[in-house]
Amino acid sequence: MKPLGPIPAGYAAIDGELVIGGRKASDLVAQAGRTPLFVYSADLLRQRAAALRAAMPEQLSLHFAVKANPYAPVLQVMSELVDGFDIASAGELTLVRAAGIDPALISFAGPGKRDDELEAAVAAGVTLNLESEGEAERALAIAARLETKPRLAIRVNPDFDLKGSGMKMGGGAKQFGVDAERVPALVRKVVEAGAEWRGFHIFAGSQALDAEAIIETQAQTLKLAARLAEESGVPLPCCNLGGGFGIPYFPGDKPLDIQAIGSALKEQLAHLPEVLSGTRFCIELGRYLVGEAGVYLTRIVDRKVSHGEVFLIVDGGLHHQLAASGNFGTVVRRNYPVAIANRFDCPVEEEASVVGCLCTPLDRLADKAGFPHAGVGDLVAVFCAGAYGATASPAQFLGHGPAAEMLV
């Protein structure tokens, strides 16, 4: 039997059933009128943000990386909880603005921004995290045409990456950001062109569970920001320190020690070099803020035995939960936290694999794991579904269409 990932804190059983946001899984499905269904808990979003605020230095701003979960009701809750929103496309800009979020709180990163995207962002007063000299030129030309002062920051490709991170996004040759040694010249160019200078964006990686690695990266990031500010000869208004805070998805994963990160960062910010004394700092997080607050519920439509192995076949699959199937950014397939939602407090009775309804062997939500005996009609819960679930899965694949979503 293969182990399952750890079920996040905050989920309990009532009458044997998984409860999300105070409501039983079967009630939520009844309200939605169908499965598969993503349910996000506003309480868990609030608790997570509060715990993070309490651990981090008071002056540190908290940004939400919208790509982790752009569902409108989630954005609405997040707008009460964070200080800024990081977007990666004009499509996300539309979603964030529709949630009533002030464009002055939005920053836009991403390689390959089209001219129409740059224009929409500049016109709205969004901060652009410039990814190249070419993009800087296009943004300045668009701003000149619109006769507006663009808000420009520079994404720095740091000369280090976040150790142990699931996805490296800095260090060496990268499509992201401007190589550190070329940044000072670009800062001067942008400032001389009359832009509103907003500072640096330095993002070194994602999904790290090792607090020491994040502490080290933040220290290196501050050093790099100081060096580049010094060399560019222009005061640095803001510095986005990136994020990379991971959540436990797989067996053996341990929650990140945010107290340790917060204390170390407090120390760092209390002893800044002179050149950073007027700089404001933020971090940008996606999965850490929303990942554990979401559950994907899918119904078993068939139970089969093949060559002695039990298969629980559900009405969802990798077209909604690509990450749980092991096909999104993981090398070795390991099990996510998965449970039978309407037998949440039952002991393990058998080994079974939970597979989706797609005609591909890749569509496996749990591989040879231990479950209570389950059959047709029972509900399967996949946890850690609040980030990169609905938004990062190929919902059109095989024509089943997207899952329902609900905030409770």
Ligand X SMILES: *Cc1c(COP(=O)(O)O)cnc(C)c1O
Element (H, E) at 106: strand 106-108
Q: Is the Cα dihedral 179, 181, 187, 189 positive or negative? A: negative
Closest CA to 211 of 175, 162, 166: 162
* Footprint on this chain of ligand X (rule: CB under 6 A): 65, 67-68, 86, 109, 203, 206-207, 243, 284-288, 387
Least distance to ligand X, CB of residue 32, Å: 26
Give 103 or 177: the residue with its C-beta nearer to ligand X: 177
Give 35 or 132: the residue with its C-beta nearer to ligand X: 132
Least distance to ligand X, CB of residue 287, Å: 4
CB 239 within 8 A of CB 256: no
Least distance to ligand X, CB of residue 206, Å: 4
Give 69 or 268: the residue with its C-beta nearer to ligand X: 69
Give 68 or 195: the residue with its C-beta nearer to ligand X: 68
Residue number, nearest CB to ligand X: 286
Give 78 or 352: the residue with its C-beta nearer to ligand X: 78
CB 224 within 8 A of CB 184: no
Separation between Cα atoms, residue 214 and residue 263, nearest integer Å = 12
Least distance to ligand X, CB of residue 46, Å: 18
Give 6 or 170: the residue with its C-beta nearer to ligand X: 170
Give 99 or 387: the residue with its C-beta nearer to ligand X: 387
Least distance to ligand X, CB of residue 249, Å: 11
Neighbours of 59 (CB within 10 A): 10
Least distance to ligand X, CB of residue 302, Å: 34
CB 271 within 8 A of CB 222: no
Alpha carbon distances (Å) from 94 to 71, 89, 205: 12, 9, 26
Least distance to ligand X, CB of residue 101, Å: 17
Separation between Cα atoms, residue 295 and residue 408, nearest integer Å = 11
3-class SS of residue 152: strand
Separation between Cα atoms, residue 208 and residue 213, nearest integer Å = 8
Can you list the positions of beta strands (E) in 247-375?
280-285, 294-306, 309-314, 338-340, 350-355, 364-371
Least distance to ligand X, CB of residue 379, Å: 27
Separation between Cα atoms, residue 169 and residue 359, nearest integer Å = 33
As beta bridge partners, residue 407 has 40
For Cα atoms 102, 107, 111, give the angle at the middle one, nearest 5 degrees.
145
Give 48 or 67: the residue with its C-beta nearer to ligand X: 67
